[in-house]
Structure 1
Amino acid sequence: MKRKLTVGAVLSATALLAGVIQIAAVPAQAAAPSPAQQQSALLALASGQSAPVAQALALGGQEKLVPKDVVVDKDGTRHLRYDRTYAGLPVLGGDLVVHQKADGSVRSVDRAFAGQLSVPSLTPGLAAPQAAEKATAAVRATVGAADQEEAALSRVDGAGAPELVVWAADGTPRLAHRTTVEGQRADGTPSRQVVVTDAATGQVLSTDEQVKTATGTGKGVNVGSVSLTTTQSGSSYQLKDASRGNQSTTDLKGGTSGSGTLVANTTNSFGNGLASNRESAAVDAQFGAAATWDYYKNTFGRNGIKNNGVGAASRVHYSTNYVNAFWDDSCFCMTYGDGSGNTHPLTAIDVSGHEMSHGVTSATANLNYSGESGGLNEATSDIFGTMVEWSANLAVDPGDYLIGEKLNINGNGTPLRYMDKPSKDGASADYWSSTVGNKDVHYSSGVANHFFYLLAEGSGAKVINGVSYNSPTSNGSTVTGIGRDKAAAIWYRALTVYMTSTTNYKAARTATLKAATDLYGASSTEYNAVAAAWSGVNVS
C-alpha cells in the first residue's frame, strides 16, 4: 500500500500538557516516499520540536532532546521518542516518549528518569586513561567466571577511549565514563561490553554486553525446502534480497571478523539440506532473515529492524566448532556458528527471530541489558522469536511456545526455555519477586515469557499444535487467553510506544495496559486479560 507523508510542525509556546502543535502542511510528494524517507521526515518533525518540548517539560537550560524514533498511529496520534543530553553529554537513562494527539496536544509523557536532572560538576575526578583502566579491570575480573549474564570470558583484548556521560538510570544523576571493552567469551563469541563507571570514584555503575546471544549447543535445524528471493548478477545468483532492504547472507569460512563472502552460484538453487554443503546453513539464515522481516512488516507495518527499509546482514560459518549465534548492532548483522564438530549450524527459525528482535529493541525502547529491564529485553526476543516461528509455519518446525527446541542444546531433546512454565528449565523464574532482577537476564525473562503465554493461551493444561502445556498462576487464578496475535500486538505497542531503557516489571505492566487500552479499549476483554495475566505472574 502506498502512503503519502505530509509533515511539518511548530510547537506552540504554551505549556506542553496543554499546548497544541500547529501543523504546517508540506506539499505532497509526486511519488510515495520510501520507508527511509518516511522515517527521515518523521525524525525531522521530532527534531524541530525538540527545543520547545524540552522547554515545556521544564528541562534545565543545559538539557537538550535528541530524536530517536517516531511512531504514528492511524488516527494521527504521534509518539516521539527522545534521548537526552546534558551540557552536550549523553544522558544514560534520560530517554522519554512524548505522546501527542492528532491536533498536537500532548496526552502524556513516559520518562526513564522523572526527577530533576542536575550534576554538581562536569569535571571528572578520574582522567580518561584511569577510567579505561577501571573498566578494563572490571571486565577482566570476570574472565573464567561461570555466573555471568553471557558465557564466561576467556580473554580481554583492551578498551576504547572512554566517553564522558551523565548516568541517570538509577535515579541519582552523576558524571560518568562510558567505555567499550572488547574481548572473547569462552565459547568463541566476540565480547563488546559497554562499562559505565563513576567519573569521581571509578565505581562500576553498569555493564552491558553489546553482542547478544542465544546461548546453546547442539544441532541447528534446516528450514527445509523454501522459496528465496535472490539477485542475479551476470551469470551468478546471489543470496541478496532487494525486496527486503538488500538483506544478504555471507560465508565467513571459519573467520571471526569481516563481512565474509556473499553466497552465490550459477544455478539459483542453494544447498542440499546437509550441513556438509556450505550453502545449506546460508539458506536457513537467508530464510530466517526474510521470515523475521515479513513478520514485522506484515504484522506491524515495520520496514526492517530499524524501520528505515534497510535489511540486516547474516553471516554463516563463524569460527570453528562454534556452538552459538548472536546479533551485533555495530555491524547490523546476525552471525551463526556451525556447532559441535562443525556439523550442526545454529540456524533455527526462532533463533533468527530472537536475535534480530534484539535489534528491534535496541532501535526502540533500548531496554538496559541488566536487572529487570534486561529480563524484559530477553523476553521480548523470546516472544517475537516465537511469533516469527508461528508466522513462518514450517512443516519441519511447527509453531510452539518452546525456545530453541530444535537445537537440542541439553542433549536430551529438551528446549532451552519454556514459556508456559519457565522454571521447567531449572533456572528461570515463573513469577516476579523482589530478587528476580538479580538473576541472569535469560532466567529473569521467565516472568515476561510466562505472562505472554498466559495472555495468549491462558492457564491450565492443554495441547496446542501437538505440544502439551500446563501453565500455573501464582495466585491460583484461572486466566483466559486472548490469542497470540493480540498478545503480540499489545507487547509490540508497549515496546515501541511506552517502554523506556529503565522499564521494570511494574512499569511493563503499566505499559501493556496502556497498549491494550489504545488497541482494544479500557474496558475491553483484552485489557482485563492483560491485568489478569500480570497478576498470574505476581506483578500487580
Structure 2
Amino acid sequence: MNLRTALLTACLALAAWPAVAAQLMSAPVAVATPQESAGLVARLTALDARQGLTNDYSFRISSQHPGVTGQKITRAQHTYKGLRVLGSESVVVTNAAGDIVSVSVADRRPGLTPQASTPGGAPPAPPLPTGADLTPTIGTDEAIRIAVQAIAPGGTHRWPPTAELLIYPVMKTVRTAAAGDKPEEQLNALDLQEVVDRYQLSYLVQLRMAQDSKLIYYDVVVSARDGAIIAQWPALQTVVGSGNSQYNGVVPISTSATASGFQMLDSARGSGGKFGGMAITNADHSSPNNPDPGAIYTNSSNTWGDGQQYNGGSTTNANGQTAAVNALWGLMNTYDTNRNVLGWQSLDGNNTATYIAAHVGTSYDNAFYDDSCRCMYIGDGNSFTSLGAIDVIGHEMSHGVTAATADLIYSGESGGLNESNSDIGGEMVEAYARNGGTGSVVPAAGNDWMMGKEISRSGEPLRWMYKPHKDGSSPDAWSTSLKNLDVHYSSGPNNRMFYFLSQGSKADPASDYYSAYLTRTPAAMTGIGNDKAYRIWFKALTTKFTSATNYADARNKVLLAAQELYGATSKEAIAVQRAYAAINVGADIDEEGGGGGDGEAVERVTNGGFETGVTGWSGATGVIGAHSGQSAYEGTRFAWLGGNGRRSTEMLTQQVQIPATASSAQLSFALHIDSAETTRSTAYDTLVVALRSASGTAIATLATYSNLAPAAGYQTRSFDLLPYKGQTVTLSFAMREDRSRQTSFVLDKVSLLTR
C-alpha cells in the first residue's frame, strides 16, 4: 500500500446516499447565517484552489431548502471577478454537521473547459475576459430602457424592473467525437454537448410589466458594452391558455372561523406569507394587466359554491364562490401531495404560505403563477371554463417549487423541463386528490395524463403527456430543433418520458403508447408506477438540476437519482434509462427479466463491494481496504487507486463470464475522483476502464476518467456489456499518475448483473 498524499477531502464526510426510497424531506431549514454561508463558500473555494483556480473564482449563495431528513440543499452561483456567471452554479448537499455530502455542478466559468469522460472531448474553452471586457459602457438605467423599448415600450411596470451586471456565456452545441459523422436525423441527445462559445459582459434585465390587458413578464440579456440585446425569453409561467366544486362534486375544504362566519384561510397548511396561511382571495375582475388579489373569501356559513360554471354575475354569491372552492381544494391537495408523500412543505420547502386569487379579469382565459408574489391567479375562462381544475392548480403551484429549487431558465430545453415539471406535478396531484387526498404514496391511478382536459369546452386537453404530438405542435421525442420551440411544446418529450417511466409503453406501432426508439427487450417497457417515478423525478429536480439543465443532463441526473434511491442496477434505474431512450435521449437497454419475470438476475462480479478484502480481485490488491482519508460508497471497504502524488501505475482486474444466453448485461460501479492537480486542460492522471481478453489483449475501452473531472462525492456509472455475451472477459481498472500532485480514483460497488 503506497502512502497517500494528504487531501483536503480527508476532512470532508463524503458519505453515500443510502438506498432508501421512502426518505422524506426535512422540516423547514433555518436560513444560513452570514458566517455559515461564508464557511460553505470557503470550503467550495478551497476545493477550487486544489484545481489551481485563483481568487478570481468564487461563489454566491442564492437559495437554501430542505434535503432529506438531516440534510440541507444550498445553491451556490459561480462568480468570476465578483460577477455572477449566468447558468453556472453548484447544488451542494450538506449534512447536519455541515459536511458536504454531494455536489452537482454546471460549470460555465471563464477559463474552464467542459470535461468529457472519453477521448475526443470538448473543444478548448474561450479566452478569459480581460479587464476591458468586464468594464460596462452603459449603466443599469440605460439597460432597462433598452429592454423596455424592445419588449413593451407602451407598458407599465407592475413590479420594479431590475438589471444585474453579470457574465453571460453565449453557448454553442457541438457533436461528441463519436457522433461526428452521424446524419442529423439519427442524432441522439447524448451525441451533443453544450459548450461556451464566448463570454459577454451583460445586464440581466427582469421586466414584470403590463400592457393592453396582458401581463408581459420577460428576462432580457442586454450587452453592457454596446446595448445590443443578446437573448430574451418570457418569464410568466402560465398554463396558456365541504364545498361544491365545479369539477369534483362535494369536496372537503379547510376554512377558518371568523366573528361573523367563515373565511377561506387554511391555517393548518403553511405559515407566514401575505395572509398567514394558505388563502383564496377574490380578485373580483381586477384587470389581468395589474391584478389586485383582493380580500380573502368570506361566507356566513361553511357551505360554499353551487358547483356550476361562473355565470358572470356576483363573485361572492354561491355561483361566484365555486371558482374559489375549486382553487382551495386544488391548493390543499397540492400541499398535501408533496407534504405527505415527500415531506416537502409548501412551495419553498420551508412551509411559507401562498395564495390563489380567483376571478381575475373578465372571461380571462388563463391561469398563471407569479414568482414576484409567490402566488397564483385564475381567470373564469371564455374559450375555457374556470381555470381552477385540479391539474391546473398542481401545475401552477409546481412552478413555485421549481422557482425555489432548480429555477430552470424559462427558455429552450431548460424551459421545456420547467414546464414538464409542472405538468408532472399537476398529474401527480390529480392522482393523489382523486383517491381521497390521504396517505404517504402517490396512487397508481386516478389521473388522466391529459393536462387541462376539464377546463376545455371542446373536450380536447391542452397537452397529452403520453403522446405529445396529438396537439399538433409538441414533439414526441428529442431532436436538435427542440430548443427552438415554445417551452409549452418543448416540454412534450419529457412529459412522454415520465408517462413511460410510470406506466410503461406498448409494443404495437399503431398505439399512442409506442416508441420506435425502444429497440431492446421487451419492446414494451415496464413502468414503475406514479409513486416511484415522482420520487425519482423530485429528487433529481431538488438535489441535482441546475438552472441550465437540458435534456441530456436531465437524463443523467434522473438516472443518478434513481440509482441513489433504489440501487445502481435496480429495475427503477433501468426504467429511467429506457424511458429516456424512448424519447431519443440515451441508448435503450434490455430490461431486467425481459419484462416478463422469465429470468433472475445473476451477479457476475465477486466481492464487488470489497467487503471481503481482496477476494476475487487480481493486480494491485493493496489498494483495497478501509483506508483513512477516504470513505466507502457502501459498507466500510473500497479500492483507492492513485493518490500517490508521484509516477505510479495500479491496476485491479477480475475475470467474468457473460453467458451466451444473456438477455441483458449491465456493468455499474461507484467512482469518486479528487485531485490536487492545478490544470483545467491537461489529463495528467487517468483511470481507464476497459475489457480485456483472457490473455490480456484489450477488447474495448469503456471510459477514461482523469484529474479534469473531480467531484465532491461518488458518481455512479453504468455500461451495457450485452455485445460481449458468450465471452469470458476481464474487467480492468487501470490507474496512471504522473510525477507530481495526486489524483485519487476511489472505486466501490462494482457489479455486473446478467439475465
**TM-score scaled by structure 1?**
0.83
Matched to 2:207, the amino acid is V
Instruction: Select 2:484's aligned residue among 438, 448, 455.
Output: 438
Pairing of 1:82-481 with structure 2 (within 5 A): 82-99=76-93, 106=100, 108-116=102-110, 119-121=129-131, 122-140=134-152, 156-157=155-156, 160-168=161-169, 170=171, 171=196, 172-184=198-210, 188-216=213-241, 221-245=246-270, 246-256=277-287, 257-274=291-308, 275-276=310-311, 277-340=319-382, 344-393=385-434, 398-408=446-456, 411-460=457-506, 470-477=512-519, 478=523, 479-481=525-527
Looking at structure 2, the residues matched to 98 and 119 of structure 1 have their Cα atoms a distance apart, in angstroms, of: 27
Cα 1:43–1:403 change in 2 (3 A) is farther
Q: CA deviation at 1:375?
A: 0.6
Matched to 1:120, the amino acid is T
Partner-residue secondary structure (3-state), 1:207 = strand
Larger Rg: 2
Matched to 1:320, the amino acid is T
Cα 1:251–1:78 change in 2 (3 A) is closer
Q: CA deviation at 1:475?
A: 1.8
Partner-residue secondary structure (3-state), 1:80 = strand
Q: CA deviation at 1:399?
A: 1.5
Cα 1:524–1:113 change in 2 (3 A) is same
Looking at structure 1, the residues matched to 209 and 68 of structure 2 have their Cα atoms a distance apart, in angstroms, of: 42
Looking at structure 2, the residues matched to 348 and 107 of structure 1 have their Cα atoms a distance apart, in angstroms, of: 40
Structure 1 or 2: larger strand share?
Answer: 2
Looking at structure 1, the residues matched to 323 and 495 of structure 2 have their Cα atoms a distance apart, in angstroms, of: 28
**8 Å contact 1:250–1:316 — kept in the other structure?**
yes
Looking at structure 1, the residues matched to 33 and 566 of structure 2 have their Cα atoms a distance apart, in angstroms, of: 26
1:499 aligns with 2:545: yes
**8 Å contact 1:66–1:85 — kept in the other structure?**
no
Looking at structure 2, the residues matched to 449 and 42 of structure 1 have their Cα atoms a distance apart, in angstroms, of: 39
Looking at structure 2, the residues matched to 304 and 16 of structure 1 have their Cα atoms a distance apart, in angstroms, of: 38
Looking at structure 1, the residues matched to 470 and 333 of structure 2 have their Cα atoms a distance apart, in angstroms, of: 29
Q: CA deviation at 1:165?
A: 2.3
Q: CA deviation at 1:261?
A: 1.5
Deviation larger for 228-237 or 304-313: 228-237
Cα 1:102–1:308 change in 2 (3 A) is closer
Matched to 1:534, the amino acid is Y
Looking at structure 2, the residues matched to 469 and 243 of structure 1 have their Cα atoms a distance apart, in angstroms, of: 45
% identical equivalent positions: 37
**TM-score scaled by structure 2?**
0.60
Q: CA deviation at 1:290?
A: 0.8
1:20 aligns with 2:12: yes
Q: CA deviation at 1:461?
A: 7.4
**8 Å contact 2:537–2:558 — kept in the other structure?**
yes
Partner-residue secondary structure (3-state), 1:460 = coil
Cα 1:526–1:340 change in 2 (3 A) is same
Looking at structure 2, the residues matched to 450 and 312 of structure 1 have their Cα atoms a distance apart, in angstroms, of: 30
**8 Å contact 1:250–1:259 — kept in the other structure?**
yes
Looking at structure 1, the residues matched to 99 and 141 of structure 2 have their Cα atoms a distance apart, in angstroms, of: 47
Deviation larger for 363-372 or 111-120: 111-120
1:535 aligns with 2:581: yes
Partner-residue secondary structure (3-state), 2:352 = coil
Pairs aligned (count): 489
Cα 1:260–1:103 change in 2 (3 A) is closer
**8 Å contact 2:65–2:349 — kept in the other structure?**
no
**8 Å contact 1:338–1:344 — kept in the other structure?**
yes
Cα 1:460–1:185 change in 2 (3 A) is farther
Cα 1:461–1:45 change in 2 (3 A) is farther
Instruction: Select 1:80's aligned residue among 71, 74, 80.
Output: 74
Matched to 2:12, the amino acid is V
Partner-residue secondary structure (3-state), 2:231 = strand
1:52 aligns with 2:43: yes
Give CA-to-partner distance per residue, 1:371-423, whole Å, 9 cap, x none: 1001100000001111001010069x951111111111xx5311111111110
**8 Å contact 1:291–1:388 — kept in the other structure?**
yes
**8 Å contact 1:285–1:316 — kept in the other structure?**
yes
Partner-residue secondary structure (3-state), 1:389 = helix
Looking at structure 2, the residues matched to 197 and 526 of structure 1 have their Cα atoms a distance apart, in angstroms, of: 44
Q: CA deviation at 1:476?
A: 4.2
Give CA-to-partner distance per residue, 1:140-196, whole Å, 9 cap, x none: 49xxxxxxxxxxxxx63368353322324743443211223343477x441221212
Partner-residue secondary structure (3-state), 1:367 = coil
Partner-residue secondary structure (3-state), 2:575 = helix
Cα 1:222–1:539 change in 2 (3 A) is same
Matched to 2:303, the amino acid is S
Structure 2 counterpart of 1:27: none
Deviation larger for 318-327 or 226-235: 226-235
Cα 1:461–1:264 change in 2 (3 A) is farther
Cα 1:43–1:394 change in 2 (3 A) is farther
Looking at structure 1, the residues matched to 34 and 502 of structure 2 have their Cα atoms a distance apart, in angstroms, of: 34
Q: CA deviation at 1:286?
A: 1.0
**8 Å contact 1:210–1:328 — kept in the other structure?**
no
Cα 1:317–1:451 change in 2 (3 A) is same
Matched to 1:258, the amino acid is D
Partner-residue secondary structure (3-state), 1:340 = coil
Matched to 1:251, the amino acid is N
Q: CA deviation at 1:317?
A: 0.6
Give CA-to-partner distance per residue, 1:266-288, whole Å, 9 cap, x none: 21221121224111101111111
Matched to 1:235, the amino acid is S
Where does the alignment leave 5 or more consecutive residues of structure 1 unmatched?
A: 1-13, 23-33, 142-154, 463-467
Matched to 1:64, the amino acid is F
Looking at structure 2, the residues matched to 425 and 414 of structure 1 have their Cα atoms a distance apart, in angstroms, of: 9
Looking at structure 2, the residues matched to 394 and 225 of structure 1 have their Cα atoms a distance apart, in angstroms, of: 14
**8 Å contact 1:223–1:394 — kept in the other structure?**
no
Determine which structure has greater relative contact order: mean sequence separation of CA pairs < 8 Å that are 6+ residues apart, divided by chain length: 2
Looking at structure 2, the residues matched to 16 and 106 of structure 1 have their Cα atoms a distance apart, in angstroms, of: 12
Q: CA deviation at 1:297?
A: 0.4
Looking at structure 1, the residues matched to 161 and 68 of structure 2 have their Cα atoms a distance apart, in angstroms, of: 41
Deviation larger for 82-91 or 369-378: 82-91
Q: CA deviation at 1:89?
A: 4.0
Give CA-to-partner distance per residue, 1:312-346, whole Å, 9 cap, x none: 110001011211000001111110001119x9321
1:64 aligns with 2:94: no
